[in-house]
Structure 1
Amino acid sequence: MTGTAGSRVLYGCMGLGGSWDDSAYTAADIGHAEAAVGAALDAGITAFDHADIYRYGKSEAVFGEVLAASPGLRERITLQTKCGIRLPGSERRGLYDLRGPGIVRRVEESLARLRTDTLDVLLLHRPDPLARPDEIAEALGSLHRQGLVKQFGVSNMSAAQIAHLQAQLDVPLVVNQLEMSLGHRDWVEGGVTVNTAAASENGFPHGTVEYCSANGIGLQAWGALARGRFTGSKPTPAGELIGALAESKGTTPETIVLWWLQRHPAGIAPVIGTSRPERITACRDAVSREPELTHEEWYDLWTSARGAPLP
């Protein structure tokens, strides 16, 4: 399985909705969302990733405005959102909350903001150490039976956490979304630093990628463009290599960065989070073309980004 419902690339909507506070969104914020969504669709991207906390719910709300203004669009796209993080409020600090009733309530709130009757995928955003798997199972089962959510997944969870949760669920977990990029390489570094001194410095839970691949759990990579670290104006050795590869293959540096993820046999689906239409458009070839990186080029990119040879 690749990404969400076979999606090669997802558009991450965290940048939509205006400011990171509980103020109201504006007409300009809706226009900004329309431009970003339009660019994503033009690039062939039809899967959209949300979370109930993005811009304090405004990312979902402005996307709902886009859907309301575009009859038939909902049927053409895959829509996923996340719940499980509660942002700081006037009377409490931020926390994680995967209590069953809260999951159901937050899904209902997301559906209202998105102006849709069902979610294609719901992800549990972060592990909650106080969560009861049986309570989560009851909530997810109820959402599924009511037709409010079609599929379920997790985000930022290890193999052991997924297995512990799945053992209680009647519905399969089909996605794990993790930070993965040419700039955030713990997920791949951990596999080759086994039995070296560097292994103790790697915090990524070893075996998670392999577990997901073996169990049909699609991997989605948030932060896939590495926040422009290799495609911006500041020259770096890795950036220069990316530029040269892009020119030789008739594509863009952004595509090369995404191809590096997609070339991995686990079938990683990048989530691109930029809200700039021109950068979204620059990712088009990652949707329409298979990764055109040789074995050697993939390793050249890795070693260049890490700034040191492999062990």
Structure 2
Amino acid sequence: MNKIKLGRSDLEVGEISLGCMRINGLNQKDAAHVIENAMELGVDLFDHADIYGKGKSEEVFADAINMNDDVREKMKLQTKCGIRDGYFDFSKEHILESVEGSLRRLKTDYIDSYLLHRPDVLMEPEEVAEAFTTLKESGKVRYFGVSNQNPMQMELLKKYLKDDLIVNQLQLSVVHTPMIDSGFNVNMMNDPAVVRDSNVLEYCRLNDITIQAWSPFQHGMIEGPFIGNDAFPDVNAKLQELAEKKDVTDTAIATAWILRHPANIQPVVGTMNPQRLKDIAEASHIELTRQEWYELYRAAGNELP
């Protein structure tokens, strides 16, 4: 699998990562198979959050692979905090407590990249900076990032942080493209011209922040897959056409569409099916032409100006 670097860090990882939200639904043997299969494919960044399975997902992950120093050095672990029961919390106290909980559940001494989950509008950036400094100086976290944040939210954080933000997780799939749409419709009066995210795609590229695409096969937020869904006939027909042309699966083509963007976007895929992950991993070796990329974009219902 092709490798990328996360932001301005020295973390070199496979260009596709595995989201572990659903791993708590597997028994230990099956969970181990999922993780080992991922590593064999070159998928070596595992994305977690303290709320996934209410912490159980991190526990299942660590127990499944019998976490130890030899295993740990072969992978990169990423986790997130900030979503609580009915509210968001970026307080220093919660960040520090959350890290301790994740370290304990993951059975490790450090986290490679630690992300603030959904934005907390009551965030005090000075507090976040204090927490990040404490975690960095103690060796418990190597790098920091965010999830679902716009440029000004990141700028506010960066005013106080000592280190660069290396990641921003954002929803992106061929049927969910608001961060791309406005770039086609500059100075237009149509709905796609509305800038909903303060040009977050361009901001992340300018600041060397890796965008990690969550829900790359979902429509809505988490309403279900669009691949193979009769409600999306045109995009599925085009996915199937390109899959047959390149002798891969439609899922691989949907992944390759994200990888084709020059921003070096890293899809975070959540499958717990080893064969499906193998199919997805094929995308690392697929090169969509410019014309094919645009054909898929239009098949998803987007019109070019």
Q: Which segments of structure 1 move beyond 4 Å, counting only runs of 4 or more?
A: 1-4, 200-203, 231-235
The answer on whether the counterparts of 2:35 and 2:65 sit within 8 Å (CA) in structure 1 is no
The share of aligned pairs that are identical, in percent, is: 38
- 1:1-311 paired onto structure 2 within 5 Å: 2-3=5-6, 5-7=11-13, 8-18=15-25, 29-68=27-66, 72-86=70-84, 88=85, 94-199=86-191, 202=194, 204-226=196-218, 227-231=224-228, 236-287=233-284, 289=285, 291-306=286-301, 308-311=302-305
Q: Counterpart amino acid of 1:61?
A: E
Q: Counterpart amino acid of 2:83?
A: I
Question: Any gaps of 5 or more consecutive residues in structure 2?
Answer: 219-223
How many residues are matched? 293
| Cα RMSD, aligned residues only | 2.0
Deviates more, 1:3-12 or 1:291-300: 3-12
Displacement of 1:82 in angstroms is 0.3
Compared CA separation, residues 138 and 199, structure 1 to 2 (3 A): same
The answer on whether the counterparts of 2:256 and 2:288 sit within 8 Å (CA) in structure 1 is yes
Once residues 138 and 292 of structure 2 are traced to their aligned partners in structure 1, the CA distance between those partners, rounded to angstroms, is: 48
Displacement of 1:231 in angstroms is 4.3
3-state secondary structure, aligned to 1:285: helix
Compared CA separation, residues 110 and 305, structure 1 to 2 (3 A): same
Compared CA separation, residues 82 and 280, structure 1 to 2 (3 A): same
Once residues 277 and 52 of structure 1 are traced to their aligned partners in structure 2, the CA distance between those partners, rounded to angstroms, is: 24
Q: Counterpart amino acid of 1:302?
A: Y
Once residues 130 and 79 of structure 1 are traced to their aligned partners in structure 2, the CA distance between those partners, rounded to angstroms, is: 28
Once residues 203 and 214 of structure 1 are traced to their aligned partners in structure 2, the CA distance between those partners, rounded to angstroms, is: 17
Question: Any gaps of 5 or more consecutive residues in structure 1?
Answer: 19-27, 89-93
Aligned position for 2:221: none
Once residues 138 and 153 of structure 1 are traced to their aligned partners in structure 2, the CA distance between those partners, rounded to angstroms, is: 15
Once residues 17 and 6 of structure 2 are traced to their aligned partners in structure 1, the CA distance between those partners, rounded to angstroms, is: 8
Q: Counterpart amino acid of 1:257?
A: A
Compared CA separation, residues 32 and 119, structure 1 to 2 (3 A): same
Compared CA separation, residues 276 and 72, structure 1 to 2 (3 A): same
Deviates more, 1:1-10 or 1:156-165: 1-10
Displacement of 1:310 in angstroms is 1.5
Post-superposition Cα deviations, 1:193-246, rounded to whole Å, max 9, x if no partner, equal 332233478563131111111111111000112353124687722112111111
Compared CA separation, residues 235 and 153, structure 1 to 2 (3 A): closer
Compared CA separation, residues 183 and 6, structure 1 to 2 (3 A): farther
Post-superposition Cα deviations, 1:172-206, rounded to whole Å, max 9, x if no partner, equal 10100100111211111122233223347856313
Once residues 97 and 180 of structure 1 are traced to their aligned partners in structure 2, the CA distance between those partners, rounded to angstroms, is: 25
What is the TM-score of this pair, normalised by structure 1?
0.88
Displacement of 1:250 in angstroms is 2.3
Once residues 70 and 107 of structure 1 are traced to their aligned partners in structure 2, the CA distance between those partners, rounded to angstroms, is: 19
3-state secondary structure, aligned to 2:275: helix
Once residues 89 and 239 of structure 2 are traced to their aligned partners in structure 1, the CA distance between those partners, rounded to angstroms, is: 40
Once residues 265 and 6 of structure 2 are traced to their aligned partners in structure 1, the CA distance between those partners, rounded to angstroms, is: 7
Q: Counterpart amino acid of 2:269?
A: I
Displacement of 1:253 in angstroms is 1.3
The answer on whether the counterparts of 1:82 and 1:123 sit within 8 Å (CA) in structure 2 is yes
Deviates more, 1:163-172 or 1:230-239: 230-239
Once residues 53 and 279 of structure 2 are traced to their aligned partners in structure 1, the CA distance between those partners, rounded to angstroms, is: 25
Post-superposition Cα deviations, 1:98-126, rounded to whole Å, max 9, x if no partner, equal 00111011000000000000000000001
